[in-house]
Structure 1
Amino acid sequence: MAIIGVMGSGQVEWPALSEPLGRWLAENGFDLLTGAGRGVMLATARAFSSSQGRRGRSIGVVPSEAHPVHGFVPSPGYPNPYIDLPIMTPLPRKLAAAPEDALNRNYVNVLTSDVVVALPGSRGTLDEICLATRFAKPLICLGPVEAFAGVPAGTRIAAELAQVYEFVLAAAGASAKAGEEAPDCRGQG
């Protein structure tokens, strides 16, 4: 089962895009991965989780803060209530003042996803788009072209959900096929 990472605004839900996308992912047997927060992450996970008969899980990569007793605790407001499997990391959200190469939970979001779908967002979303490009993850952006200013040249931007569905099916199929063709290394070494 492919993991589809949906990245986007932590403040604006973009319901006309995120809700049908979340339902479609659930209806088609995918796992959903988000940053476990509000906005697009909440709206997509809510639609995904409320879909009848879904087989996949809603996975959330939870940013954290240092705690003197517990080591790390979830950042306030994380995870949202529609996350089935919260993944706690000792990594923070992408901070505006952080250097470009600073490790943050966006690396986990992108590297864990088999396919990345980016909806409009801000700096964190742009960082995830750049990471997906850097690590050659199948990537498609969904929304108005002007919402994706600053993305790497050649980034695919779709205006229609149908284009995203077609892309995800093809990319997830290619990922599954690549996994089937990988050599079996168990018992060697």
Structure 2
Amino acid sequence: MAIIGVMGSGKAEWPDLSVPLGRWIAERGFDLLTGAGLGVMLSTARAFSTTDGRKGRSIGIMPSEAHPTLGFAPLPGYPNPYIDLPILTPLPRKHPDAPDDALNRNYVNVLTSDVVIALPGSQGTLDEIQLAVRFAKPLICIGPANAFEGVPPGTRIVSELADVYAFVLAKTGAFEQL
């Protein structure tokens, strides 16, 4: 089944969007991929993981830091408790002063996802949106249009979850059973 990547704020949960989205992804049997942190990542993973009868897994791509004996260790607070499959990479979060082509865990988030859904966030979310466009990943943004200033021209931004659901179903070849 497809891996649906949900990107967004590491601080704000955007529950009106993230909770129904997480449940919907779980109810359809998809796997959920997030950055394993707080905010949208936590809220979506919590909704996904607490949905009765789900079949998919919540996957979390964790940023890391050097560790003297382990080599690398997840940053404090990672993964959130709703991640079934935490994946530790030797890649850090993208630092604000890092060049655009600096390798970071956002590459893994985007390249592993079959479809990328972006909720409002900050620079990390914008970086993931730009990577999705760069690597031609199916991408849709959900939320107020002004929350996505700076996205590449032509990026699809919607305000209704129904549009996101239809997009995911079309891009994954899945269909809605009545």
Aligned residues: CA RMSD: 0.7
Where 2:152 maps in the other structure, the secondary structure is: coil
C-alpha deviations, 1:151-183, integer Å up to 9, x for none? Answer: 000000010000000000001118xxxxxxxxx
The one-letter code sitting in structure 2 at the alignment partner of 1:19 is: V
Quote the residue 1:104 is aligned against: 104
Quote the residue 1:15 is aligned against: 15
The one-letter code sitting in structure 1 at the alignment partner of 2:93 is: R
Give the superposition deviation at 1:94: 1.2
C-alpha deviations, 1:67-108, integer Å up to 9, x for none? Answer: 111100000110000000001100001110111110000000
Quote the residue 1:169 is aligned against: 169
Normalization by structure 2: what TM-score?
A: 0.97
Give the superposition deviation at 1:46: 0.1
Number of equivalences = 174
Quote the residue 1:65 is aligned against: 65
Matches within 5 A, 1:46-65: 46-65=46-65
Structure 1 segments, 4+ long, off by >6 Å, are none
Q: What CA distance in whole angstroms lies between the structure 1 residues aligned with 2:5 and 2:95?
A: 20
Quote the residue 1:117 is aligned against: 117
The one-letter code sitting in structure 2 at the alignment partner of 1:154 is: G
Give the superposition deviation at 1:50: 0.2
Where 1:42 maps in the other structure, the secondary structure is: helix
Q: What CA distance in whole angstroms lies between the structure 2 residues aligned with 1:85 and 1:77?
A: 15
Normalization by structure 1: what TM-score?
A: 0.91
Bigger CA radius of gyration: 1
Q: What CA distance in whole angstroms lies between the structure 2 residues aligned with 1:94 and 1:47?
A: 27
The one-letter code sitting in structure 2 at the alignment partner of 1:107 is: Y
Matches within 5 A, 1:1-189: 1-173=1-173
Q: What CA distance in whole angstroms lies between the structure 1 residues aligned with 2:93 and 2:76?
A: 12
Give the superposition deviation at 1:118: 0.1
Structure 1, gaps ≥5 residues long: 175-189
Where 1:100 maps in the other structure, the secondary structure is: coil
C-alpha deviations, 1:113-154, integer Å up to 9, x for none? Answer: 000000000000000000000000000000000000000000
Quote the residue 1:177 is aligned against: none
